[in-house]
Structure 1
Amino acid sequence: MLFPRIIFFLPFLAFTRSDPVERNSAAICEFFQHVRAFQEDWWDDIVVAMKTMLQEMITALEPYPEYEEYRKTMQDYVEQGKTIVKSSRLEDKVAFVKGFNERGDQPVLTGSPAKKQALTRPIDHFRSNMIFKVLTEFHNKLLKAADDLERVVRFPDSSSKGELFRLLQQYRTSGIGSLTEEIASRILALKDKYQCA
């Protein structure tokens, strides 16, 4: 029974005796891969939420002929969005989400409070979904990955940790908010600095 135990512990000993810099680099590069996957999930969720919101807006606008032109514009955009799927390039997903807001042809909603509420309800649903599902899910995944990274990576002192770890600390203290949206891009921008593929 001694022989199998020796075989089991050999890879473990090799890892513990391997170069700390090499271990740190491997763990950091793996962390970047996770963040990239989280970013992909983030944009997939936003695309789905936006398509749902646009469809709800189209339905909400149907009883109001004064918004017919705008409703058709939304319908055209939903049709364009059918080509944006999970396997689409990240750049195409970002362009789809940002594109509609950049068009600048949204009408001013007028009428009774009940009418305004009916027309803004899909936007309110979209915002709450973004905060309570998409942002929160991304935030939790990133914090867990950061915790896992910091358990594995070892530095001789805190001054040698570098920009990535300062950014993660800043992210932890700021919580969910505007930094949540840009954190993946800011982290991934450091990839080359750590020489990760």
Structure 2
Amino acid sequence: MPKTCPTCSKPLPDKDLSLSCNSCMTSSHASCVNYTPSDIEFMKDNNGTFTCVICLTRFKLRSYSTSSNTSEQFPSTVSSQDEPMSVRHFSQLMIQMSAMADSLASMTVHQRDLSADIAKIKTTQSKLVDEISGCRALLEEHSTTLTEHRVEIDQHNDTIQLLETQHKALSTEVTSLGSEINSIQEMIHFNSSSDIVS
């Protein structure tokens, strides 16, 4: 008759996924006692042993009945049987630590990428600062040149206004001279006519 698991009452076909109690020699499915394959492998590699819940309860009852102290006292064999549960916890902690290590490695890579991006931004910023400084120097130079041109334009405007004033004065003189010339010509013509009559 094949062995069955006391927890689920199902047969135990696979030895690798079962645990045998070192006290009563009863075998149980690893999953029924919350053990993973990695827990079993770790326990085998470290010469660990398994004690079923029934035997642990018996040990506790014996400890209560034989001890004069009200605190729990377990036989030395039982303290060693707590190891598989700690192995499970240790395995979970290792998985968590591995996940944390992967996350830390990812964060480290991300931090390196950020540092590289920051370095590029700083380089670009430095170039932009240099370009802005050059533009400011050119702007100041052009502003000085523009101011000089404005002074020259003002001077030319003054010269133009002066020339316009002189032009008006000359035009007035030319008009006056023209009138005088006409008067002289009329006088000459009149005198010539008088000489001919006489």
Structure 1 length normalisation: TM-score? 0.26
RCO comparison, higher one (Cα < 8 Å, 6+): 1
- Structure 1 or 2, whichever has the larger Rg, is 2
Structure 2 length normalisation: TM-score? 0.26
